[in-house]
Amino acid sequence: MTSQFNTLYALDLLGTAAFAASGALAAVRKKMDLFGVIVLGIVTATGGGVLRDLLLGDAPPFCFKNELYLYLAVITSIIVFLSPRRFERMGRAMLFLDALGLGTFLVIGTSKALAFHLGFAGSVIMGVMTGTFGGLIRDTLSNEIPLILQREIYASACVVGGACFYFLNDTFVPPAINLTVSALVVILIRGAAIAKGWHLPRA
Amino acid sequence: MTSQFNTLYALDLLGTAAFAASGALAAVRKKMDLFGVIVLGIVTATGGGVLRDLLLGDAPPFCFKNELYLYLAVITSIIVFLSPRRFERMGRAMLFLDALGLGTFLVIGTSKALAFHLGFAGSVIMGVMTGTFGGLIRDTLSNEIPLILQREIYASACVVGGACFYFLNDTFVPPAINLTVSALVVILIRGAAIAKGWHLPRA
Amino acid sequence: MTSQFNTLYALDLLGTAAFAASGALAAVRKKMDLFGVIVLGIVTATGGGVLRDLLLGDAPPFCFKNELYLYLAVITSIIVFLSPRRFERMGRAMLFLDALGLGTFLVIGTSKALAFHLGFAGSVIMGVMTGTFGGLIRDTLSNEIPLILQREIYASACVVGGACFYFLNDTFVPPAINLTVSALVVILIRGAAIAKGWHLPRA
């Protein structure tokens, strides 16, 4: 473990907590009970990585090999359950943490897909899925049309970041720089989209 | 096959039929056609075990290795389709069979996860998922917020039973006793929750 | 590769495009953005085969081994996004292409399941799932009760075709004839059901 991967691991855990909080908040708004809040917290935090590992044939998925992800999601969900207003007031800070998690999950997913010898489309899809699938299940379980399918520059920021990672991976750029640059691409596009209210076109 | 596992297998089949009936009934209420009724019956009865086997990397899942589970779900669904009122009138008896299935599926899921060397959180989650995921897909396909996320002591009874199984498994308690005790824990908590109207807290 | 399999491959690609178009159209109707349209296109076109490969333990699924399926779904979705009215006006032609895709996906799914030594129920289910699961996720993501669970002779045509394939597979009938006959069974039943307004009974 070099420091670059320790940093990535720390960001991964931070993103996991941020995603778990967003799932738990959605459950609180739908008036689910404590169990429902924890389930939506776990699913939102780990769903993307679990689906990626299933599709790559790497069972059991990451969070069953290192249960820290599961405990972190459970604890975060319980904290949200006990004081949801504190998290709702965080507004902007939550959006920033969410973008940080999105960028981190994207590079982890894309780099793992490349390690499993997937091609361009497959690697980008695995990255996008790692970043966004948890939120998609969260919305489906809350009986809403998934936000990522109808709103804002979100998953599309992941597509750009994933393509960036794929192409830099074939160059002399060292992995640590690539991971950082590609994650930053996602975070900056997502941040600018929030700040400026950017949208993708609709038909 | 000793008698203890024959008993578990019999309970497994009974639970499969009870879960299939609940899925088929939900489809009838949503005015689905015969095919929809059978699909919801199969999915509710086998969905939890199928997801568990996918996550454990044990493909193809159990009901494709022993198709008896599939035939049982299909036949139960057709019977429900032909006379749904008889099942609706069963009310309390259906709730009891459902609790029996829940406890059985939980111990099967948790013990299989332990055999695949999962840790505490993973084993409990696999048990809970085996017991509850079928119902969760049933509700999602019926376009409802899943009942287990918003109501009553249901999945939480599984969490207690799964934790019980995990800890007894490390002791001198023989497997057959552990399977029985942990399943009973689920059934009794669930039964008491129905009888007394217990609920988990909401935020 | 003999010509019979080239024909099957061509039909497979045609069906993929037809299914992607139906997913993209559903997304346009729900006013999703470009990203949502592409996601629903990909998922509708590949979802059935992806689930089949996961259940058979053949990871990564087919479209990650041959990315042509992914690119075809993306391009079709973008074309639908740019001129959805042209596709809506196609009405009958779209229904025919959809039935063609359904029959093709069914025989591909059933024959692959047989190659993985599944039994009768499992092989038919794998075929039906390959043909219909994409549409089922499409409807769930659009927050609708899946059409295949409530309407018309659709998946049930697949059940008949899958059973036909299974039984002919045990006879002296050569595989190419079996593939053709079983796919035609699906297409003809589905076509007749559209033309004559056939329905399955409801409870």
Please check whether residue B40 touches C, CB under 8 A: yes
| Residues counted in chain A | 203
Residue A123 pLDDT level (bands cut at 50, 70, 90): very high
Residues of A in contact with B120 (CB under 8 A): 67
Question: Using N-to-C axis directions, what is the helix angle for A3-29 and A92-115, rounded to 10°?
Answer: 120
Q: Give the model's pLDDT for residue A105.
A: 95
Helices marked H in chain C — which ranges? 3-29, 34-56, 62-65, 68-82, 84-90, 92-115, 120-141, 155-169, 175-196
Paired tokens of A173: 């750029």
Asked if pLDDT for residue A84 goes beyond 60, the answer is: yes
Q: Element (H or E) spanning C147, and its range?
A: none
Query: Tokens 């720390």 — which residue?
Result: A10
Query: Tokens 């039973």 — which residue?
Result: B161
CA atoms within 13 Å, Cβ hemisphere of A54: 25
Residues B108, C186: Cα–Cα separation, whole Å: 38
Residues of B in contact with C56 (CB under 8 A): 59-60
pLDDT in tens, A183-202: 999 999 988 888 887 777 77
Higher pLDDT: C51 or A153? It is C51
- 3-state class of C33 per DSSP? strand
Q: Give the model's pLDDT for residue A7.
A: 84
Touching subunits of A (3+ CB pairs, under 8 Å) are: B, C
| ipTM (interface pTM) | 0.86
Which whole-number Å values give the CA distances from B41 to B126, B138, C23, C154, in the listed order?
A: 21, 8, 26, 18
List, for chain B, all residue ranges whose pLDDT scores fall below the cut of 70: 1-5, 145-152, 203
Q: Which of C32, C50, C140 sits opposite A150 (nearest CB)?
A: C32
CB contact under 8 A, B145 and A140: no
Residues of C in contact with B71 (CB under 8 A): 121
Residues B76, B154: Cα–Cα separation, whole Å: 23
Residues whose CB is less than 8 angstroms from the CB of residue A109 and which lie 6 or more positions away in sequence, other chains included:
A48, A49, A52, A126, A127, A128, A129, A130, A131, A162
Residues whose CB is less than 8 angstroms from the CB of residue B131 and which lie 6 or more positions away in sequence, other chains included:
B48, B101, B102, B103, B105, B106, B109, B155, B158, B186
Q: Give the model's pLDDT for residue B198.
A: 77
CB contact under 8 A, A149 and C140: no
Q: Give the model's pLDDT for residue B6.
A: 82
Any bridge partners for residue A202, and if so which?
C33
Higher pLDDT: A93 or C177? It is C177
Touching subunits of B (3+ CB pairs, under 8 Å) are: A, C
CB contact under 8 A, A142 and B146: no
Please check whether residue C156 touches B, CB under 8 A: yes
Q: DSSP per residue over B57-114, as a string?
A: T-PSPHHHHSTHHHHHHHHHHHHHHH-HHHHHHHHHHHHHHHHHHHHHHHHHHHHHHH
Give, for all 203 residues of chain C, the pLDDT tens digit.
466 668 889 989 999 999 999 999 999 988 888 888 999 999 999 999 999 999 999 999 999 999 999 999 999 999 999 988 888 888 778 888 888 999 999 999 999 999 999 999 999 999 999 999 998 888 877 777 666 665 667 888 999 999 999 999 988 989 889 999 999 999 999 888 888 877 777 76
Q: How far is A153 from chain B (nearest CA, A)?
A: 27
Q: How far is B191 from chain A (nearest CA, A)?
A: 18
Q: Which of B55, B121, B143 sits opposite A61 (nearest CB)?
A: B55
Q: Give the model's pLDDT for residue C152.
A: 66
Residues of B in contact with C149 (CB under 8 A): 27, 30, 32-33, 35-36, 39-40, 141
Any bridge partners for residue C33, and if so which?
A202
Q: Which of A27, A64, A81 sits opposite B118 (nearest CB)?
A: A64
Q: Give the model's pLDDT for residue A150.
A: 59
Please check whether residue A85 touches B, CB under 8 A: no
Residues A124, A111: Cα–Cα separation, whole Å: 9
Residues of C in contact with B142 (CB under 8 A): 145
Contact B22, B80 (CB under 8 A): no
pLDDT in tens, A33-67: 888 899 999 999 999 999 999 999 999 999 999 99
Secondary structure string (H, E, C) spanning B14-65: HHHHHHHHHHHHHHHHCCCEHHHHHHHHHHHHHHHHHHHHHHHCCCCCHHHH
Q: Give the model's pLDDT for residue C150.
A: 59
Question: Using N-to-C axis directions, what is the helix angle for A120-141 and A3-29, rounded to 10°?
Answer: 30
Query: Tokens 């596009």 — which residue?
Result: A189
Residues of B in contact with A25 (CB under 8 A): none
Q: Which of A28, A54, A143 sits opposite B54 (nearest CB)?
A: A54
Q: Which of B39, B59, B64 sits opposite C149 (nearest CB)?
A: B39
Residues B105, B187: Cα–Cα separation, whole Å: 11
Q: Give the model's pLDDT for residue A5.
A: 67
Please check whether residue B122 touches A, CB under 8 A: yes
CB contact under 8 A, B40 and C125: no
Residues C70, C82: Cα–Cα separation, whole Å: 19
* Rg from Cα positions in chain A: 16
Q: Report CA torsion sign: B84, B86, B92, B95.
A: negative
CA atoms within 13 Å, Cβ hemisphere of A70: 17
